[in-house]
Amino acid sequence: MSDSKDHPVILLISASSLTAKSFNRLLGEQFQIVHAESSEQAWQILQDESAITVVVCELELSINKMALLERIRRAEDKTLASLPVLLLVGEKDDEDRRDQAFSVGATDFIHMPFSSIELKARVRLHSKLYGLHHKESAFELSSENSPVDILNSLMQEKYFCNRLDQELSFSARHKSFVSVCLIKVDNVETLEEKFGKKILRAILRAVAKIIEHMIRREDTYAYFGEETFALLYPVTNGLGANIATKRLVEKIQSTHLNHEGQSIGVTLSIGLYSTLPSEDLTAERVLSVIEQRLEKAEKLGGAQIVSSKSELEQNKVSIEQALNMINFNRSESLVKQIPYLMDNIMPLLEFIHDNDEIEFNRILDKFDDEPE
């Protein structure tokens, strides 16, 4: 391992010495390359080396009998579990194996034989995301009067929109889902009136810290100003995004911030959009949809998550009613109720997710919006 502290560390997992030489030649000036020839060796390195920021692995080695990719995603160490994992995919790797890798948690694909431009672009992108997360953590820990603040809305919004456009383009090409949400702190006027602007700012920083702790490294979050955050979940369908946002809401609502002996409770309103995008879907269109959904969540009184399924809840039926309608061949009217019915069985789906993630990701996702 190089002693240089300036270069991010890549773990390359490949049985090919030629591939390792290519990586060193193309990326050696900007990255430290650690090479493992097997998934077993790679797992040991991941246990011992905390400086790794990007994992690049041959598809076969990621899902072989050692199930390296799944081990990474199931690791108790959050830093390890959230590492970006880029898979080297060859012509012999069929779509089923690629889908399997994505369902387990692959971050991105690099097609073999790779071009130097594609390799550098992919690795730099995910390394840059890691660096941005690292810097944002430092901003969060800075003093209240720091001139550099995580809540710098202009810089963050521009960056987020660029990332969203990149992810929509990638997801359209690779036919993968993407989810986006806007999150707004409720009752801002009351909080400011009771505690003042400085404490409100501190509350927003606390929310930012909780968001950062709850998301994966490959996810992107930003502050848009006006007490509103944005979250991008790459390669995540509507069901997964609903689970993630619900857990975030529950975490923030159960966290009480203390100020001069008083406990401050915080709730959130969320507008959520999940889709399998088309080539012409833009960040502007996505943000327009979730802005409308966020506004609806606020009008409902706050502490709500509004997605495409939410419009059906005014005519909702119970699971028992739905089963009776199916038994009596009256299921036609249930089609539009599918998202709400799935929400009712969310505890069961969460149980499946926690205990068998591969099977969970094979469940047809009825929460997602249609391609735009």
DSSP for 208-232, please give it: HHHHHHHS-TT-EEEEEETTEEEEE
Q: Where are the beta strands (DSSP E) in 278-362?
A: 305-306
Q: Do 153 and 203 touch, CB atoms closer than 8 A?
A: no
The domains of the chain, with CATH numbers, are 9-131 (3.40.50.2300), 147-307 (3.30.70.270)
For the entire predicted model, the pTM comes to: 0.49
Q: How far is it, in rounded angstroms, from Cα 159 to Cα 89?
A: 29
Residue 226 has what DSSP assignment? Answer: T
Q: Where are the beta strands (DSSP E) in 130-219?
A: 178-185
Q: Do 295 and 271 touch, CB atoms closer than 8 A?
A: yes
Q: How far is it, in rounded angstroms, from Cα 260 to Cα 176?
A: 48
Is 236 in a helix, a strand, or coil? coil
H/E stretch holding 56 reads strand 52-58
Q: Is 24 exposed, middle or buried (0-12, 13-18, 19+ CB in 10 A)?
A: middle
Q: What is the pLDDT along the chain (372 residues), one digit of tens a residue?
A: 444 556 888 999 998 888 899 899 988 888 889 999 998 999 989 888 778 888 999 888 888 767 888 888 888 777 787 788 888 888 777 777 777 777 777 877 887 777 777 788 778 777 766 554 444 432 222 334 444 454 554 457 778 888 898 889 888 887 778 899 999 999 888 888 888 888 888 888 888 888 887 887 678 888 888 889 999 998 787 777 887 888 888 888 877 777 777 778 888 999 999 888 888 888 899 999 999 999 999 988 888 888 875 443 344 566 776 776 676 666 666 666 666 676 667 667 667 767 766 665 665 444 455 555
Tell the residue number behind the tokens 């966020």, with chain if given: 294
